[in-house]
Amino acid sequence: MTPARRGVAFVASKLAFGGAERVLVEQVRAVAATGVPVDVWVAKDDQFEQLAPALRAVGPAVREVAVVRGATGLAWRLLRRRPDVVVAYHAPRAYRALLRLRRVPFAPRPVVVETVHERYAWALEPFDGTRPRAADAFVLTHDVRAAVRRAFGVDDARLFEARPLFASSLLDPDDAARAEARRLRAAWGVGPDGVVVGFLGRLGDNKGLLLAVDLVRRLVLEGHDVHLVLAGRSCPELGDFDARLAAAVAAADASDPRCRGRFHLVGAVPRRTPTYAAFDVLLLAARTEGLLPLMLVEGMSAGVPAVTTDVGGIASCLRDGVDAEVVAKVPDDERDPTPDVVAALTDRVRRLVADPARRAALGAAGRARVRALVAANDFHGDTRRALDAARTLGPRGPAPRNRPGGP
């Protein structure tokens, strides 16, 4: 990518603090590092300032990070900036604006590159046909080629992979972080032999958090000295899920005297590293994911052993019983885990809670694994190569107007 290019515009629906949005930040870094001008436009401002400062701080190549509402406003921005590449992520108004722009005489047509994180139906929505007609190429964060090919009628020459494993996600607790972790554990009322099962990430309904509450409640009633800590930002777009999660935590706490004070819904944390250092086990009972969730990369890099379902790309990164406890979720669809999967997750957590030596060994192996995955990866280079190749290919011909989405 050369500075002579007109620029790259990134268009997203929101800027919340999650794994997908962190991918956008790293994509911006990859492009801006070459000196190519970058603009970032989002449709919603309710969580805008969670990541906007990080984007503005990338460097002087980032011209604008702004909320731009409506397809008309975005079309005018595109006419003024005239980028040669637009990177979109699940942004309906972007597709409407780009199709509208094609009807303007002599307006430049940028190459539109979609970023796709998952192969599930929600991630492949056609949005009344606007998405398959607007997109020219796709950057996939893991191998979901077959699903994207079927959903959008695109050939493999326009499908590129850039795995979102980057060094900025690696954590390494120092003495200060470990001291703060001890203070956190004391504040949660964890005794010297207590085990903290933890989650740190977006408190989304796909993460199995309600399942985690009930799982830990059952372990406590079995006599295990265990606490559950759920940390991270809420998801206002999920309607009443925050209230349902809070109610589940309160109900578990009140369900039996032995459960009192063992469930902690702590919200957003100012520092991730001490929080992970305060955990003894990571639990991710997710029903949908992309490649490798940010929580697993961060927590495992800090040495915390993980218990997780194998959804999305997790099984392609982690080896069951070697790097983590990885429970097969069959089928890997968008539904909640079945009772058999829940029972397997419970058994894996139970064994780690009861076996400090196993926790230490699995934590060390997981730490080495995620660091090796990151070291072998080149997300920035792969992103630049994908955008260059898409620009060279140029716009593709018209796609069917009503091609159905879905895997």
- Per residue in 322-350, pLDDT tens? 999 999 999 899 999 999 999 999 999 99
Tokens describing residue 302: 């800090």
pLDDT band at 238 (very low <50, low <70, confident <90, very high): low
How far is residue 223 from each of residues 11, 219, 289, 307, measured CA to CA in Å?
Answer: 51, 7, 32, 20
> Phi, psi at residue 385, to the nearest 5°?
-65, -40
Question: How far is residue 391's CA from residue 160's CA, in Å, rounded to a whole number?
Answer: 12
The pLDDT, as a whole number, for residue 398 is 58
Strand residue runs (E) in 141-245: 159-161, 195-200, 226-231
Do the two domains 8-166+377-393 and 170-375 of this chain adopt the same fold?
Answer: yes
The pLDDT, as a whole number, for residue 399 is 47
Residue 11 pLDDT > 80 = yes
3-state helix, strand, coil split of the chain in percent (to 5) is: 45, 15, 40
Domain boundaries, the chain: 8-166+377-393, 170-375
Q: Residue 76 gets which letter from DSSP?
A: H
The pLDDT, as a whole number, for residue 200 is 97
- Answer whether 136's CB lies under 8 Å from 390's CB: yes
The pLDDT, as a whole number, for residue 183 is 98
Question: How far is residue 70's CA from residue 354's CA, in Å, rounded to a whole number?
Answer: 54
Sign of CA dihedral 375, 39, 66, 89: negative
The three-state secondary structure class of 270 is coil
* Lowest mean pLDDT segment, chosen from 2-16, 90-104, 217-231, 352-366: 2-16
Taking only the tens place, the pLDDT of each residue in 357-391 is 999 999 999 999 999 999 999 999 999 999 999 99
* Lowest mean pLDDT segment, chosen from 35-39, 239-243, 376-380: 239-243
Average pLDDT over residues 5-30: 87
Residues 6+ apart with CB under 8 A from 406: 121, 124, 147, 150, 151
CATH topology of domain 170-375: Rossmann fold (3.40.50)
pLDDT band at 20 (very low <50, low <70, confident <90, very high): confident
Q: Name the class of domain 8-166+377-393.
A: alpha beta
